[in-house]
Chains A and B, each alone.
Chain A
Amino acid sequence: MTRHQTLVTGMLAAATLVLAAPRVGSGQTTAPTLGSLRTPPSPAFTVLGIEPSAVERPATPSDVAMSFVNKIRQGTFPKDYAFEASPYWLVSQPNLSWNSDATRNVAESVARTMSLSIATAETGTTVAPVTSLALGVRTLLSSGHMTASTQRALAALEQTLSQTGDVFLRMVGEAGLDALDKRLASGEITSADYEARKQELTAIVLESDEYREAMHRAEDVAAKREGFFFEVAAGFVWDFAEASWESRAFRQRGVWATPSYEFGAWSLVGVLRYLDEAGASDEDALDWGGRALYSTADYALSLEFVQRSPIEPADAVTRSHRFVGIAEYRVSRASWVIASFGKDRQKTGARETLIAQLGLAFSFSKKRYF
């Protein structure tokens, strides 16, 4: 999840809480959002229960090294640190063309979508300080295929970029490079002198109105994939009392599996979610279910079913399910009205299970669902 998507999710929850009406029952949480069944984007942050304000997202291996070095300089064990990286994309991939990425086998999908997340946070008190460390991993075993419309758009973009190159070469030639070429070929000037003059001419052409106008035709293309997706993720948390390695204790783990199928306006999403806390805990649970979603640019309809079961008979979690219908309608470019109605699962210590909410959501992302 990008930072702005995280922001949108937070705003969605806040807006729903504030504007919810009518509301029946007092023990309800917010209405399920469209992303509630998704695999967590950063498992380490999810199992640690934090949304870090700043996440290091290095682009190269040297960035990774600098990130760790900078943190280690601040102390032996960084106290607040969030890091996320996709190993495959840390280094250049000169042999990967967009055409060859249109479809992926399992190994290619795993390599190209795997991300690792690490987070540390202070989770204790002043009297009993505890530093928690979380590690997470997520990847797609299957990542669908590039849509035919995306492939057509990218092929057209290739052609446009070639045409802009023709414009550029013509203009730079007319600006004086053709004459300079002859002097270079005949040995009148050195390649160093040639390069210096060539770059001056290049700068002039790049700033010209004619070239800029040509580049306006090279519009952005948002590559879209569809078909079968299967995402898996896992996160693990350890506590370190008083920042001591010897006092480490395993606290929690979570595993998610999210198969989905996307075609046109339809999305079918399944979920298998396992949350387990070490030691005495009454919230260990296994969730399974799914969602069917139909979405257009202006509205969306969905049905969600999730069954929750205790891991062990001793767990306080009761076997229950949630079955909710959600309707969304766009009221402006970046705001949506959301109505949800259905049965929520039974919460520990609460009787009410009815969901009936009306909310307003703000989304500044081009992608409506994430």
Chain B
Amino acid sequence: MDGDVLVSDTNFYPVQPNTPIFFETRIGNGQVGGTALRLNGSSIPVNPTGPTKIGQDGQDLRRSVLQCITTVKDISPTTNHTSVEHEITGGLKAEVFPYAIQVKKDKGIARYFITYVLS
């Protein structure tokens, strides 16, 4: 759509056997956004205010694919910058995946469509 931008990326995140992980999104620049998650094709309810548990206790997440889309809407009259940080914890080490992009015009949408391959 006019003024919208897309960030698409694929990352690998090493998990521990039979252990769930936790996923959290932070949206910067005073903008508003929402995140949706799917693990191996199944939707996961997202906790908008903190970490979301991915997988169940004892579930082996290796060779799983976590799809994430964070949709950010520009509501700020002072900037068209948008930024997103995805933080994953519970694996071999905690990792933060930072992304940023400017929407092309006021009130535009930035979509961060990120794939995490759990290895």
Contact = CB atoms under 8 A, between A and B. Distances in A.
Is chain B found bound to chain A in the same assembly? yes
Interface of A: 59, 86, 89, 91-98, 101, 112, 154, 157-166, 168-170, 172-173, 177-178, 181-182, 184-186, 191, 194-195, 198-199, 202, 206, 212, 215, 218, 220-223
A97 B33 CA distance: 10
A340 to B, nearest CB: 30
A222 B32 CA distance: 12
The 8 closest A-B pairs by CB, nearest first: A165-B36, A162-B34, A161-B34, A94-B28, A181-B65, A94-B83, A89-B79, A178-B41
A169 B38 contact: yes
Majority secondary structure of chain B interface residues (helix, strand, loop or mixed) = strand
A112 B111 CA distance: 25
A164 B109 CA distance: 12
Given A94-B83, A162-B36, A184-B65, 16 more contacts: A59-B79, A94-B100, A96-B29, A97-B26, A97-B27, A97-B28, A158-B32, A158-B34, A161-B72, A161-B73, A165-B36, A172-B67, A181-B41, A199-B6, A202-B8, A212-B1
20 contacts: A86-B78, A93-B29, A93-B30, A98-B31, A101-B30, A158-B32, A158-B48, A159-B48, A162-B46, A173-B38, A177-B67, A185-B117, A191-B10, A195-B8, A198-B115, A202-B8, A202-B113, A206-B4, A212-B1, A218-B109
Contacts, number: 149
B43 interface: yes
Interface of B: 1, 4, 6, 8-10, 12, 26-38, 40-41, 43, 46, 48, 63-65, 67, 69-73, 75-76, 78-81, 83, 85, 98, 100, 102, 107, 109, 111, 113, 115, 117
A159 B41 contact: no
A173 B41 contact: yes
